[in-house]
Amino acid sequence: MSSEPASRPTEAGVEDLAESAASTAGISLPPSSGEPGRERTLGTVYGLIAYLLWGFLPLYFLLLAPTGPFELVAWRIVLSLVFCALLLTVTRTWGRLVAIMKQRRLLWLTALAGVLIYINWQVFILGALSGHVIETSLGYFVNPIVTVMLGVLVLHERLRATQWVAIGIAVAAVIVIIVGYGAFPWIALTLAASFGLYGLVKKQVGPSVDAVSGLTLETMWLTPIAAIVLVVVAGTQGLTMGAYGWEHTVLLSLTGVITAVPLLLFAAGARRVSLTTIGLLQFAAPILQFLIGWLVLQEPMPLERWIGFGLVWVALIVLTVDSIVHARRVRAAR
Average pLDDT along the chain = 84
User: pLDDT tier at 205 (50, 70, 90 boundaries)?
Assistant: confident
The pTM of this model reads: 0.83
Distance CA 146, CA 111 (A): 22
Q: What confidence tens digit (pLDDT) does each residue in 82-134 have?
A: 999 999 999 899 999 999 999 999 999 999 999 999 999 999 999 999 999 99
Taking Cα atoms as reference points, which of 4, 330, 45, 328 lies closest to residue 155?
A: 4
pLDDT at 10: 37
pLDDT at 43: 84
Q: Are 287 and 64 in contact, with CB atoms under 8 Å apart?
A: no
pLDDT at 14: 41
Question: How many of the other CB atoms lie within 10 Å of CB of 257?
Answer: 14
Q: What confidence tens digit (pLDDT) does each residue in 210-231 have?
A: 888 888 999 999 999 999 999 9
Distance CA 171, CA 261 (A): 34
The amino acid occupying position 144 is P
- What's the CA dihedral at 334, 320, 190, 137 to 10 degrees? -140
Burial 200-215 (b: 16+ CB within 10 A, else e): bbbbebeebbbbbbbb
Residue 310 pLDDT exceeds 70 = yes
Distance CA 187, CA 142 (A): 12
Q: What confidence tens digit (pLDDT) does each residue in 9-58 have?
A: 333 334 444 444 444 444 444 444 444 678 888 888 988 999 999 999 99
Q: Are 84 and 212 in contact, with CB atoms under 8 Å apart?
A: yes
Which 3-state string (H, E, C) describes the chain? Answer: CCCCCCCCCCCCCHHHHHHHHHHHCCCCCCCCCCCCHHHHHHHHHHHHHHHHHHHHHHHHHHHCCCCCHHHHHHHHHHHHHHHHHHHHHHHCCHHHHHHHHCCHHHHHHHHHHHHHHHHHHHHHHHHHHCCCHHHHHHHHHHHHHHHHHHHHHCCCCCCCHHHHHHHHHHHHHHHHHHHHHCCCCHHHHHHHHHHHHHHHHHHHHHHHCCHHHHHHHHHHHHHHHHHHHHHHHHHHCCCCCCCCHHHHHHHHHCHHHHHHHHHHHHHHHHCCCCHHHHHHHCCHHHHHHHHHHHHHCCCCCCHHHHHHHHHHHHHHHHHHHHHHHHHHHHHHHC
pLDDT at 5: 32
DSSP type of residue 244: S
Residues in CB range of 37: below 8 A, 6 or more apart: none
pLDDT at 29: 44
The amino acid occupying position 282 is Q
CA 163 to chain centre: 22
Residue 206 pLDDT exceeds 90 = no
Q: Are 300 and 124 in contact, with CB atoms under 8 Å apart?
A: no
Residue 243 pLDDT exceeds 60 = yes
